[in-house]
Amino acid sequence: MNRQEQTNIINDLATFVKDHREDQFDDHESFYYELLKQWRELSRFSMDGADPASRDLYDRYWAAMGQWHQRFVAEQDRIVNPTPMPGPTLQEEYEALIAELADEIISDLPRPASAAVIRIDDFARRLNLQLQEMRDLYTDVLTPIDLLLLVEYWRMVDQAVQAKEGNK
């Protein structure tokens, strides 16, 4: 995905967040606003001087987010007109799956040492920091479609992190 495509999906999500007042929620209450913040943070820096592994992860991450965005666009009507959660069991199953995926992905990325300076082109460490924020999302306020898209998000990030260089 090139920079213009990144900008386009970020702008599209920003429009959705603004139009549906997702930015009016408190921290960690809106999946879409948290994702928008993540995308903005991770797109801020050029990867031109980064090592090949970092550039490759960056490319895989943005390719995955492009796929997630397509799913998001296809589901917007369901997001805007959500169905209620059918019961606490489904909510608990989603939460357990999300927690498992998040923990697995974050453990696969290098951890930034406390008080360490992180190179702006060290995408794995920057992604780790952003995923820590996403893990703090309050899932109990999400609708079934939000939870489904959140699971898809974590699965796509997992594929990007697990893929080996050249196996996109």
Residue recorded with tokens 């809106």: 30
**Whole-prediction pTM:** 0.87
Alpha-carbon span 14 to 158, nearest angstrom: 24
pLDDT tens for each residue of 147-164: 999 999 999 999 999 985
Residue among 160, 154, 155, 159 nearest 31 (CA): 154
pLDDT tens for each residue of 16-61: 999 999 888 777 789 999 999 999 999 988 888 888 989 999 999 9
